[in-house]
Structure 1
Amino acid sequence: MSIDVLLNSFVVLFVVVDPIGNAPIFAALTRGASEAERRALAVKGITLSAAILLVFFLVGNGLLSALGIGVPAFRIAGGVLLFLVAIDMVFARQSGLRGATASEREEAQEREDISVFPLAFPLIAGPGAITTVLLMASHGGSWAAYLVRFGIIVVVLGVTLASLLLTARIMQVLGETGTNVIDRLLGLMLAAIAVQFVVDGISGAFGV
């Protein structure tokens, strides 16, 4: 697998998981919690997210084969889904694709433990992230390539954990406006990559 493909996989997963954009949401969900409680929730949420994403990464090819879905078709569908995620990021809004809906956030505020819902799912290991790891798995390749992509997932989740643990400092430096600006820039990048996924899928399906 080429360096370009690996770099593309890292960028897409990083943008979709959106470590910086999740910081203000995590701050809102843990308002009133102590630093130790926030740390415990962040670690548990990342651990559960890692389990979800790694399971889908490991069974990705088998799952697509069992469902009779070809790689080109999944790339087209994945590209469309990621493009919708990119639109949410450009317009700085949260939807069920990349975060919890309004009703889900209200339900989360009543929970003492938000590490499973909505932190692990859908904020971190949501539909966009799951689609991305399935696309990563669909590239195939040697065991070395799989290990590198496995490492990409671990690195992105590690950065996300650091972002959650440093939420207070991030909000002090960037604020809501700063995080939205970064989200918009990353959203533009993700939109272009998503379109490329669709183009590659169509090329593969029709042998162009």
Structure 2
Amino acid sequence: MHFSLKEIFSVTIILFSIIDILGSIPIILNLRKKVGNIHAGRITLISGGLMLGYLFLGSKILQLFGVDVESFAVAGALILLIIGFEMILGREIFKHNDLNQGKGSSVVPLAFPIIAGAGTMTSLLSLKAAYYQENIIVGILANLLLVYAVLKSSSWLEKKIEPGTVEVLQKVFGLILIAIAIKLLKTNLL
């Protein structure tokens, strides 16, 4: 075992900045309005499963389908671009299908692509080349705890943040999401 607090801290901070769960609060609150209940535990478990899958099998799965990491990142960027436009324009492009028929799910787009999307996958594949696997796993778990806490407190956040503030934050973070998508597109297309 090669546990290192320095590596764990670095991985945790890198993933925290990529996942940006705090910046996703307007998206979460918007989804609460659309689908009702957000299942924090389910979304966290699915996100964790996706991240661990990326870590252990990500490049092999992409190779199996003949897709390179850059193409996957471009596809994820296009999804983020659409979500950003949804937030700014106030139009629903993605149909938020309910996996439980009426109980609200929001696994898509929260678990994928917001939490465990293309940026997270490419970051984990990059981190794998620079850090020990056990430190990456601890960094993933630390981020999942924060993701769970934010998702679990979404109803409390909705009560504390005024609707007008949520709308302004939604527009601002929609623009930021579009900028992140464009950066992913530029990085992976050039």
Task: State TM-score, norm by structure 2.
Answer: 0.68
Q: What letter is aligned with 1:46?
A: T
Q: Residue 66 of structure 1 corresponds to which residue in structure 2? A: 64
Alignment of 1:72-151 (within 5 A): 72-96=70-94, 101=95, 104-105=97-98, 108-109=101-102, 111=103, 118-119=105-106, 121-128=107-114, 129-139=116-126, 140-144=128-132, 147-148=135-136, 151=139
Q: Secondary structure of the residue that 1:197 maps to in structure 2?
A: helix
Q: Residue 20 of structure 2 corresponds to which residue in structure 1? A: 14
In structure 1, C-alpha distance between the alignment counterparts of 2:134 and 2:64, rounded to whole Å: 20
- Report if the CA contact (8 A) 1:21-1:183 is conserved: yes
Task: State TM-score, norm by structure 1.
Answer: 0.64
Choose which of 29, 32, 39 in structure 1 pairs with 2:36.
29
Percent of pairs identical after alignment? Answer: 17
- Report if the CA contact (8 A) 1:90-1:188 is conserved: yes
Q: Residue 51 of structure 1 corresponds to which residue in structure 2? A: 49
From the superposition, tell whether residues 90 and 176 of structure 1 become closer, same or farther in structure 2 (CA, over 3 Å).
same
- Report if the CA contact (8 A) 2:88-2:171 is conserved: yes
Question: CA offsets, 1:95-139, max 9 Å, x none?
Answer: 43xxxx25x259642x4xx5xxx24x2142124533333222343
Q: Residue 206 of structure 1 corresponds to which residue in structure 2? A: none
Q: Residue 165 of structure 2 corresponds to which residue in structure 1? A: 178
In structure 2, C-alpha distance between the alignment counterparts of 1:60 and 1:144, rounded to whole Å: 16
Cα distance, 1:174 vs structure 2: 0.9
In structure 2, C-alpha distance between the alignment counterparts of 1:181 and 1:70, rounded to whole Å: 37
Structure 2 spans left out of the alignment, 5+ residues? 1-10
- Report if the CA contact (8 A) 2:76-2:117 is conserved: no
Cα distance, 1:200 vs structure 2: 1.8
Aligned residue pair count: 180
- Report if the CA contact (8 A) 2:23-2:173 is conserved: no
Cα distance, 1:19 vs structure 2: 3.9
RMSD between aligned residues: 3.8
In structure 2, C-alpha distance between the alignment counterparts of 1:137 and 1:181, rounded to whole Å: 32
Cα distance, 1:155 vs structure 2: 4.2
From the superposition, tell whether residues 199 and 159 of structure 1 become closer, same or farther in structure 2 (CA, over 3 Å).
same
Q: What letter is aligned with 1:84?
A: I
Structure 1 spans left out of the alignment, 5+ residues? 31-37, 204-208
- Report if the CA contact (8 A) 2:85-2:178 is conserved: yes
Q: Kindly indicate whether residue 184 of structure 2 is the aligned counterpart of residue 197 of structure 1.
A: yes
- Report if the CA contact (8 A) 1:56-1:130 is conserved: no
